[in-house]
Amino acid sequence: MALIEKIINPLSSFHHRRISRYLNELDIEKIIDIGAHKGEFLENMLKIKKVNSFYAFEPQKDIFEELNNKFVKNKKVTLFNYAMDKEVSSKKLKINKISMKSSLAEANENSLYLKFINFLSRSKSNFEDEYEVQTITVDKIFERINLQKALLKIDVEGFEMNVIKGSQIKLKEISFILLENQFGNHFKNNSFKNITKLLSDQNFKINKKFIFPTLHYQDVLFKKD
């Protein structure tokens, strides 16, 4: 595990517990975790007793194996080794030395934040490897599953717009969306303002913001109006 992950993980646990307490008061029965990583968000959400179904997606091969080992015996959890996108295809997943920063998105090479991350991880570039992964859409994989009273959580390092564009049918059913908003222009063609406009067109309004303890990003909860 990278040193930065050892530092971030306790803060991440605190952050997710805070979100879990808030979500516990809402009418949610299903949670879709896109960008599940090693299950940091998922293991906190499992404490919400009223939620009866969890769907977790993680495209990184080795990280998915850890995720699977951790949750495979939990009957409430269904795991998928897919990357979520606006289309069904295959794409190059760019692997960061800090696995939580791996992405399908194109990095902004001028991002001071990414340069700082590279410094901390002693990396010469944003990504140290890449390989093909299968992509699929929310609309396709949940075609026969009713998503009323569902929360869609998206944490995909600059690829959020693509995931949302692949969810246009199911957004008519989904009640809540939890979306990571990174402060700064770290990835190309990634605008939180444009994402907010697209969700507004689907009648979603910002309900709550959860700022991460290090103040470098926030999770924004949208609620169907």
Residue pLDDT, tens place only, 121-141: 777 777 889 999 999 999 999
Q: Which residue has the higher pLDDT, 184 or 6?
A: 184
Does the structure show a pLDDT above 60 at 149? Answer: yes
Integer Cα distance of 195 and 179 in angstroms? 10
* pLDDT over 70 percentage in the chain: 96
Q: What token pair was written down for 121?
A: 């991880």
Q: Of 19-33, 116-130, 199-213, which range is least confident?
A: 116-130
Integer Cα distance of 121 and 202 in angstroms? 39
Q: What is the pLDDT of residue 118?
A: 73
Q: Where are the domains of the chain?
A: 3-224
Specify whether domain 3-224 bears CATH 3.40.50.2300: no
Integer Cα distance of 195 and 54 in angstroms? 24
